[in-house]
Structure 1
Amino acid sequence: MKRIIIEISDEQHQKMMDYLGRNTALNIEHETFSGYGLNLNCVDGGFASWLEVEMNGKLDLGEVDWNIE
């Protein structure tokens, strides 16, 4: 089985966790369950890759490194 590994900085991780926490609280307050998604976006040729988190909106975490093992 292959794995996709996305490397994020501590700062990106903190931003993602804060964002998910706020939106989870919002879901609980409004009694909804939206879930969340992680979108890895890449430019052809490997020039740039960035990660977005979607949950009641979109958070762009900026550039990331990733690979398939």
Structure 2
Amino acid sequence: MAEIKFEIEKNIGVLSENAKGWKRELNLVSWNGREAKFDLRDWDPNHEKMGKGLTLSKEEVIELKSILNEIDV
């Protein structure tokens, strides 16, 4: 399996942390040298290992924000 290269360009925020220290974070991440996208996933404390996540374009984040603003939580 090919190595996945990534660079966390900006940490936007931490949503939660589990008992083992892994954090669910929203970051701007460049994957394999491509333009950075919004990325939501779990990371180990050293940002060396990651869980499955979701990557969104700026347009998708704008639409998600609009949807979330419409719901009562």
What TM-score do you get using the length of structure 2 for normalisation?
0.26
1 or 2, which has the higher strand percentage? Answer: 2
What TM-score do you get using the length of structure 1 for normalisation? 0.26
Specify which structure has the higher proportion of helix: 1
Structure of higher RCO (CA pairs closer than 8 Å, 6+ residues apart): 1
